[in-house]
Amino acid sequence: MELMSSKRGLAAQRCDIFCNVVDNFGDIGVSWRLARQLAAEYGYCVRLWVDDLPSLSRLCNAVDASLAEQCQRGVEICRWRGDFSKMRPAGLVIEAFGCALPESYIDAMAELVPQPVWINLEYLSAEAWIQGCHGLPSPHPRLPLTKYYFFPGFTEQTGGLLLERDLLQRRDVFQRDAALQQAFWQSVGIAMPAEGRLKISLFGYENAALFGLLQAWAEGAHPVLCLVPEGRILPQIGQYFGDDAPCVGKTYIRGDLQVRVLPFVEQERYDELLWACDVNFVRGEDSFVRAQWAGKPLVWQIYPQHDAVHWEKLQAFGSLYNSQLSAHAAESVQALWRAWNMEHGAGQAWPAFAAACAELQSHAQRWSRQLADNNLALNLLDFSRKIGRMRAFEIEGQ
């Protein structure tokens, strides 16, 4: 690790990302994705400071959770430590989701000239108010430092969404190429699903609406293959099929429904699951965005917040996403999303959604292309350069 030998000048193109894992995989999922992209596509030397390495090792199996420092996929991964006073901060500092930087690191930032660009990467929301808050400064109460709020989002007035440079191209190749799809299915231990079977990936939190939904699939008009990555919803899958030890590799069958339990795969491979399915149930933030890039109909289980503000977020995204759909398709999406998030009535809402799938499919493709022009990593670097130029100008003027 580099010591703070000089207080003048910043090493070029270095970025520190700080991630405090609150729960699940969203915080680290977004931080890891951004870190990889800044390193691979923009040549940044990225250090990712994370307080929960076991969670990261689920997204990238090569990560050894016992190591304090290691390099994976071009990113220096460091265990979040107590004392940062001897650390030279990078020129670009990203605090993921307001995770509160260590005081000793903030003090070190304040001593640098020019100061690092300090960005708080916020949670994603489609609510209109974020457009007015995106890019706003927040002066430090004690030190001569400013932090900037950077809001991901769906409109041009926001920071956009994380999207790797070649993702949509790779998706299109995959979706056209049966051999690639076959290789994917094989890699998760499944023979290429038969034509005409609706493939549904199901990644979610515990949800009481699951039983009705599974019943609707079992009794429905189309044969369904449901792929469930190992995780929080799995015990309920077991409960529905009368198995108190559901685990990876198991298959359950009822009526026209077949359920397969998949391993939790590495982050890059999860995209392939989304691309290979016809409908994707996703949750939180990062899988929700990836499902949009997959260009397939999706059902979003929003991360529930105790003050219920998630309902407004769900509504805000629904209004944007559904505005380009016919009335009956929009209604079917709204009804299933509401039922899934209310944990009641998803089975009843399913048939209308399934009937609208052809329209939802073309809409999902259009939607992904429409969003692709607003690239978060690019916007973030442009923003940080703008702040950097402003700083240099201020110093010159002193």
Q: Footprint of ligand TRH on this chain (CB under 6 A)?
A: 22-27, 29, 59, 123, 203, 229, 264-267, 270, 283-288, 303
285 is catalytic: yes
CB of 270 to ligand TRH, least distance (A): 4
CB of 33 to ligand TRH, least distance (A): 7
Nearer to ligand TRH among residue 78 and residue 188 (C-beta) = 188
**DSSP assignment of 335-397:** HHHHHHHHTS-HHHHHHHHHHTHHHHHHHHHHHHHHHTTSBHHHHHHHHHHHHHHHHHHHHHH
Nearer to ligand TRH among residue 84 and residue 300 (C-beta) = 300
CB of 187 to ligand TRH, least distance (A): 12
Nearer to ligand TRH among residue 59 and residue 325 (C-beta) = 59
d(CA 293, CA 365): 8
| Residue carrying the six token digits 């399915």 | 277
DSSP SS3 for 247:
coil
Instruction: Give the strand pairing for 69-72 and 146-150.
Output: unpaired
Q: Yes or no: say if 280 and 294 are a contact pair by the CB < 8 Å rule.
A: yes
CB of 265 to ligand TRH, least distance (A): 4
> Which sign, positive or negative, has the C-alpha torsion 357, 359, 365, 371?
negative
Nearer to ligand TRH among residue 162 and residue 354 (C-beta) = 162
Q: In angstroms, what CA-CA distances link 222 with 18, 153, 246, 350?
A: 46, 35, 25, 12
CB of 386 to ligand TRH, least distance (A): 28
206 is catalytic: no
Q: In angstroms, what CA-CA distances link 120 with 13, 181, 212, 242, 294?
A: 18, 38, 41, 46, 27
CB of 205 to ligand TRH, least distance (A): 7
d(CA 16, CA 336): 40
Nearer to ligand TRH among residue 212 and residue 231 (C-beta) = 231
From 82, 78, 61, 81, select the one nearest 70 (Cα to Cα): 78
Nearer to ligand TRH among residue 24 and residue 181 (C-beta) = 24
CB of 308 to ligand TRH, least distance (A): 15
Q: Yes or no: say if 36 and 115 are a contact pair by the CB < 8 Å rule.
A: no
> Which sign, positive or negative, has the C-alpha torsion 130, 132, 136, 140?
negative
Angle in degrees, 0-180, between the axes of helices 286-294 and 26-42, rounded to the nearest 10: 60
d(CA 202, CA 274): 10
Count of other CB atoms within 10 angstroms of residue 175:
16
Nearer to ligand TRH among residue 115 and residue 287 (C-beta) = 287
Say which of 27, 52, 122, 271 is annotated catalytic.
27
Say which of 52, 76, 95, 285 is annotated catalytic.
285
d(CA 247, CA 250): 6
Q: Which residues are catalytic, by number?
A: 27, 285
